[in-house]
Amino acid sequence: MPSNTSSSTPSVLTANLLRTGEVVYLAPGGRWVPRLDDARLALDEDERTAVQETAARYVAAGEIVAPYLMDVRLEGGFPKPASMREVIRASRRPTV
Amino acid sequence: MYRYDDFDHEFVRSRAAQFRDQVSRRLSGDLTEDQFRPLRLQNGLYLQLHGYMLRVAIPYGVVSSSQLRALADIARRYDRGYGHFTTRQNIQFNWVTLTDTPDILDRLAEVEMHAVQTSGNCIRNVTSDPLAGVAADEIEDPRIWAEALRQWSSVHPEFLFLPRKFKIAITGAAEDRAAILFHDIGLRIVKGKGGATGFAVYVGGGQGRTPYVAQLLRGFLERRHLLSYLEAVMRVYNLHGRRDNLYKARIKILVNALGIDEFARQVEAEWQSIDREALDLPDAEVERITPHFALPPLLRRPATDGAIARRRARDADFDRFVRNNTAPHRIPGYRIVTVALKTPGQVPGDATADQMDALADIAERYSHAEARVTYVQNIVLPHVALADLADLYDRLVADGLASANAGLITDIIACPGLDYCNLANARAIPVAQAIARRFDDPDRAAEIGALRLNISGCINACGHHHSGNIGILGVDKKGTEHYQITLGGSPGDDAEVGTIVGPSFAAEDVPDAIEAIIATYLEQRDSAGESFLEFYRRVGTGPFKARLYGSRSDNAPTRSRVLETTIGG
Ligand code: SF4
């Protein structure tokens, strides 16, 4: 699974829903949520591996496609996108 | 315009049905994403930054009122109410779902449209002169041959898995308005000895990471041999084009590796060995296609119109519109009208569902229900009576479609960039908007004159930055959006790849940089008659560099430095 992360930064697993294409994030309890705020944080290698394994199961089940890990920074404990690409994706609309 | 025959109808309907079945197999788990991805791409459905994007083919840019209404309907029912006209004369819908796509394809099939071969390593939609069939400078209508090429290249079994995508453009006019020299194959209808028409065939042009202007492969090819000759070109490419390296797989790399002479020799050898009779288009088929492109019945009208002249004299906006956005029609008393989807501040090439419906109505009322999509992301109404210009203009004003800037600095080409595209390094649309707003003053735009300004969000160059008189390329510089400026590109008969002027600029500095470039030109040009491109060709990058970078120590960037930025991004 591709990964856009560096090892020292927290990350979040993102993907698109197969049926709609909608951008989603993996949340605690294996739910897929539209808001990055609600995403599950992966803070170390073990957690990154765990969320990737979870994602792979949902890929196999045909619920999501194109999963990958993305870097986030924390603001008040909430994940915020670390790149303009992920800012735009998380906003679910173009900037214009 | 061309109407489908029974075969076309059946083909498009069956492809839509086939895709419906493939989608249901994907949803039921019978197909994995790896198995399904090539199938959805063969039907123009991409997974982009925000979700699925459907690219619909508009063959050689010709679209009817009923097709525009269907596109509006799709935008409204299945998307967020708009679509994006692309530099390949196609339209993209940015917000469709996988589950709706089979219904969208059925809707398209109803109006003789589809999304087949708008993706993948096959021959893509053939593009052409948006003024085809009506331009005053035309030798012969290229659409007849564009249509022949459409039929030939559609599910051509030999050419569905090429080393890389393949783009053909064709023009029949003296002036190239289809950027044919930036295509894998560019075709120009020319007159040969004795006045018979044929094709000049160019090969190996393209933009992207390694931009090339196409080279002349054959100065004159008899019309009747077009298909067999292109078959030979495709076979040489299919056999020898590189499949081991994505970045070296386009025909331009092969042509330049072999040299044009050796490439031509191999094409000739192949052509001599194939059964031309079996491959060439039978005369009967040419005769069948040709009437589809006959001019509509245009009543004879006076070549001048007093009321229009008077309105021009008293209404500066209307006068500007007529000057910039209309061109002479073959038939006196008619004009070709460009509807620029470029009102400063709008997203270049975007049209709302309401605007598409309005364009459909306007085309029906004033242009024999026909419109064209241009590669500069505008719409052309090909047959407008001179006497109708004022009414048409008033209607366009009411619909927010009367931007009178065709061919000027604010008529910017911009790709979707990072606002939509999965491959982007940087945004293109907001930069286009900022520049268009900066040069919003129509008198200033008129003073600057003809200028092509093009923006791409990454090195793939869908926004044609290489061929812009001013080109802007988005790069990722340590995680921030930066923009590299090139000067001197040209898409026309004098095609040229632009030269990088210096180090890149932060997004917020781009309008000032463009301002500095324009000021340099306006202050130093010989006369108002010297265009930006002519000025650049006379003086080179020197004066622009001096203005942009002054005594900055880094004002002499090298190509390798530039490539580092883009590849690293
Ligand atoms: S040039 Fe790059 S960013 Fe723009 S549409 Fe093409 S691939 Fe996307």
Residues B285 and B362 in one domain: no
Structure-block tokens of residue B28: 């039921």
Which B residues, 452 through 511, put their C-beta within 8 Å of a C-beta on chain A?
Answer: 479-481
* CATH code for position B193: 3.30.413.10
pLDDT at A62 over 70: yes
How many domains is chain B built from? 4
Contact: B480, A84; criterion CB under 8 Å? yes
B89 or B566, higher pLDDT: B89
**Looking at B366, B398, B430, which one is the last position of a domain?**
B398
Percent composition of chain B: helix, strand, coil (DSSP 3-state, to 5): 45, 20, 35
Give the mean pLDDT of B540-548: 98
Give the mean pLDDT of B185-193: 96
pLDDT at B143 over 60: yes
Mean pLDDT score of chain B:
95
Would residue B129 count as lying in a domain?
no
**Looking at B292, B321, B346, which one is the last position of a domain?**
B292
Would residue B301 count as lying in a domain?
no
B407 or B561, higher pLDDT: B407
Would residue B405 count as lying in a domain?
no
Our answer on whether the CB atom of B463 is closer than 6 Å to any ligand 1 atom is yes
Structure-block tokens of residue A76: 């008040």
Would residue B122 count as lying in a domain?
no
pLDDT at B60 over 80: yes
Structure-block tokens of residue A27: 């949340």
Distance (Å, whole) CA B406 – CA B217? 33
Contact indicator for B449, B531 with CB cutoff of 8 Å:
yes
Contact indicator for B311, B390 with CB cutoff of 8 Å:
yes
Residues B197 and B310 in one domain: no
B415 Cα–ligand 1 center, Å: 6
- B207 CA: distance to closest CA in chain A (Å): 24
Residues B546 and B484 in one domain: yes
Would residue B380 count as lying in a domain?
yes
Mean pLDDT score of chain A:
94
Atom index in ligand 1 nearest the CA of residue B425 equals 3
Would residue B203 count as lying in a domain?
yes
Distance (Å, whole) CA B524 – CA B112? 52
pLDDT in tens, B294-328: 999 998 899 999 999 999 999 999 999 999 999 99
Give the mean pLDDT of A37-61: 97
B50: Cβ–Cβ under 8 A, 6 or more apart, which residues?
A: A21, A23, A89, A92, A93, B94, B95, B420
A19: closest chain B residue by CA: B98
What is the residue whose two structure tokens read 């596109």? B71
Question: In the structure, what pLDDT confidence band is assigned to residue B1 with cuts at 50, 70 and 90?
Answer: confident
B471 Cα–ligand 1 center, Å: 14
B429 Cα–ligand 1 center, Å: 11
- Identify the pLDDT of residue A5: 63
Residue nearest to atom 2 of ligand 1 (CA): B458
Contact: A89, B429; criterion CB under 8 Å? no
B55 or B566, higher pLDDT: B55
Q: Which domain holds residue B514?
A: 413-568
Residues B347 and B429 in one domain: no
Question: In the structure, what pLDDT confidence band is assigned to residue B506 with cuts at 50, 70 and 90?
Answer: very high
Give the mean pLDDT of B178-197: 96
Contact: B50, A21; criterion CB under 8 Å? yes
Q: Helix, strand, or coil here: A14? A: strand
Distance (Å, whole) CA B411 – CA B414? 10
What's the pTM value of the predicted model, to 2 decimals? 0.95
Contact indicator for B169, B183 with CB cutoff of 8 Å:
yes
Contact: A20, B420; criterion CB under 8 Å? no
pLDDT in tens, B449-501: 999 999 999 999 999 999 999 999 999 999 999 999 999 999 999 999 999 99
For helices B306-314 and B389-398, the axis angle rounded to 10 degrees is: 40
Distances (CA, A) of B293 to B31, B145, B238, B287: 43, 11, 32, 11
Which one of A61, A66, A93 has the shortest CB-CB distance to B47?
A66
pLDDT in tens, B368-404: 999 999 999 999 999 999 999 999 999 999 999 999 9
- Identify the pLDDT of residue A9: 86
**Residue B246 touches chain A, beta carbons under 8 Å:** no
Contact: B49, A96; criterion CB under 8 Å? no
Across the strands, what pairs with B82?
B352
- Identify the pLDDT of residue A3: 65
Distance (Å, whole) CA B524 – CA B539? 10
pLDDT at B564 over 50: no
pLDDT at B555 over 60: no
- Identify the pLDDT of residue B556: 45
Q: Helix, strand, or coil here: B409? A: coil
**Looking at B373, B398, B423, which one is the last position of a domain?**
B398
Question: In the structure, what pLDDT confidence band is assigned to residue B560 with cuts at 50, 70 and 90?
Answer: very low
Contact indicator for B513, B548 with CB cutoff of 8 Å:
yes
For helices B542-549 and B532-539, the axis angle rounded to 10 degrees is: 100
Residues B358 and B418 in one domain: no
Residues B194 and B310 in one domain: no
B522-552 burial, b if ≥16 CB within 10 A, otherwise e? eeebeeeebbbbebbeeeebebbbebbbeee
Contact indicator for B239, B263 with CB cutoff of 8 Å:
no
- Identify the pLDDT of residue B65: 98
What is the residue whose two structure tokens read 């004879």? B300
pLDDT at B189 over 50: yes
Question: In the structure, what pLDDT confidence band is assigned to residue A7 with cuts at 50, 70 and 90?
Answer: low
Our answer on whether the CB atom of B461 is closer than 6 Å to any ligand 1 atom is yes
pLDDT at B344 over 50: yes
Residues B97 and B27 in one domain: yes
Distance (Å, whole) CA B254 – CA B495? 20
Q: Helix, strand, or coil here: B171? A: strand
- Identify the pLDDT of residue B300: 87
Residues B267 and B203 in one domain: yes
Residues B105 and B189 in one domain: no
Residues B392 and B417 in one domain: no
Mutation target vs B (from A4, A73, A83, A85; most B CBs, 10 A cutoff): A85
Residues B491 and B546 in one domain: yes
pLDDT at B565 over 60: no
Contact: A95, B27; criterion CB under 8 Å? no
- Dihedral sign of CA atoms B65, B67, B68, B70 in order: positive
Would residue B127 count as lying in a domain?
no
Contact indicator for B481, B474 with CB cutoff of 8 Å:
yes
A20: closest chain B residue by CA: B97
- B443 CA: distance to closest CA in chain A (Å): 26
**Residue B427 touches chain A, beta carbons under 8 Å:** yes
Would residue B16 count as lying in a domain?
yes
- Identify the pLDDT of residue B213: 98
Torsion of CA B498, B501, B502, B507, to 10 degrees: -80
Across the strands, what pairs with B327?
B336
- A29 CA: distance to closest CA in chain B (Å): 23
Structure-block tokens of residue A11: 């990350």
Q: Are strands A3-4 and B91-96 parallel, antiparallel or unpaired?
A: unpaired
Q: Are strands B350-352 and B82-85 parallel, antiparallel or unpaired?
A: antiparallel
Contact indicator for B121, B162 with CB cutoff of 8 Å:
yes
Cα–chain center distance at B21: 32
Tell me which chain B residues have a C-beta less than 8 angstroms from the C-beta of A4.
none
Distances (CA, A) of B291 to B174, B198, B286, B296: 23, 19, 9, 10
Contact indicator for B72, B80 with CB cutoff of 8 Å:
no
B480: closest chain A residue by CA: A84
Structure-block tokens of residue B195: 């006045």
B417: closest chain A residue by CA: A94
- Identify the pLDDT of residue B422: 97
pLDDT at B566 over 90: no
Distances (CA, A) of B154 to B126, B147, B212, B457, B514: 10, 10, 26, 30, 42
* CATH code for position B330: 3.90.480.20
pLDDT at B170 over 90: yes
**What ipTM is given for this predicted complex?**
0.94
Distance (Å, whole) CA B438 – CA B21? 50
Tell me which chain A residues have a C-beta less than 8 angstroms from the C-beta of B97.
19-21
Which one of A20, A84, A88 has the shortest CB-CB distance to B97?
A20
Residues B81 and B152 in one domain: no
Give the mean pLDDT of B326-342: 97
Torsion of CA B370, B376, B378, B383, to 10 degrees: -40
